[in-house]
Amino acid sequence: MDNETILQIATGPVAALALCILAIYFVARWVATHLPKWVDRHLTQIDRMVDSHNEDRKVYKESLTEVNKTLVTLHGDVGELQVDVRKLRADIIRERAQMDPRSVRIDLNQ
């Protein structure tokens, strides 16, 4: 082989193909060594997100339970207040009726 043929092979399509194959090989080797680390980090991050979501869900359920208990307590208190208001209304109507029977026009069913 003469120098010109060697120069054409070194700078021509064969050299470009060899260079591409070497580049792909080294990039693939680099990715193969780093990819497991990246996947492990990603999976660890997903696990942390799921754990955080489960903790948030637990707190959310606890707060809903607490709100429900408070609502039941308030409903009982409101029921007692309604009874007291009806008694007060009846007392006021009776007092007005004793003073002036014509002034009483309030319905006891309200």
The answer as to whether 37 is a domain residue is yes
pLDDT band at residue 46 using 50, 70 and 90 as cut-offs: very high
- pLDDT for residue 3: 83
Domain membership flag for residue 109: no
Beta strands in 14-64 (DSSP E): none
Q: Does residue 13 belong to any structural domain of this protein?
A: yes
Structural domain of 58? 3-103
CB hemisphere CA count around 55 (13 angstroms): 6
pLDDT at 17: 92
With beta carbons less than 8 A apart as the criterion, state whether 9 and 15 touch. yes
Does some domain include residue 108? no
Residue 44 lies in a domain: yes
**68 part of a folded domain:** yes
Structure tokens at 59: 């707190």
What are φ and ψ of residue 56, in 5° steps? -60, -40
Q: Check pLDDT > 90 for residue 95.
A: no
Mean per-residue pLDDT, 33-38? 96
Q: What is the pLDDT of residue 12?
A: 84
Residue 93 within a domain: yes
Q: How many CA atoms, within 13 angstroms, populate the side-chain half-sphere of residue 16?
A: 4
Quote the pLDDT of residue 56.
95
Are 89 and 97 in contact, with CB atoms under 8 Å apart?
no
Residue 13: pLDDT band by 50, 70, 90 thresholds?
confident
**Total number of domains in the chain:** 1
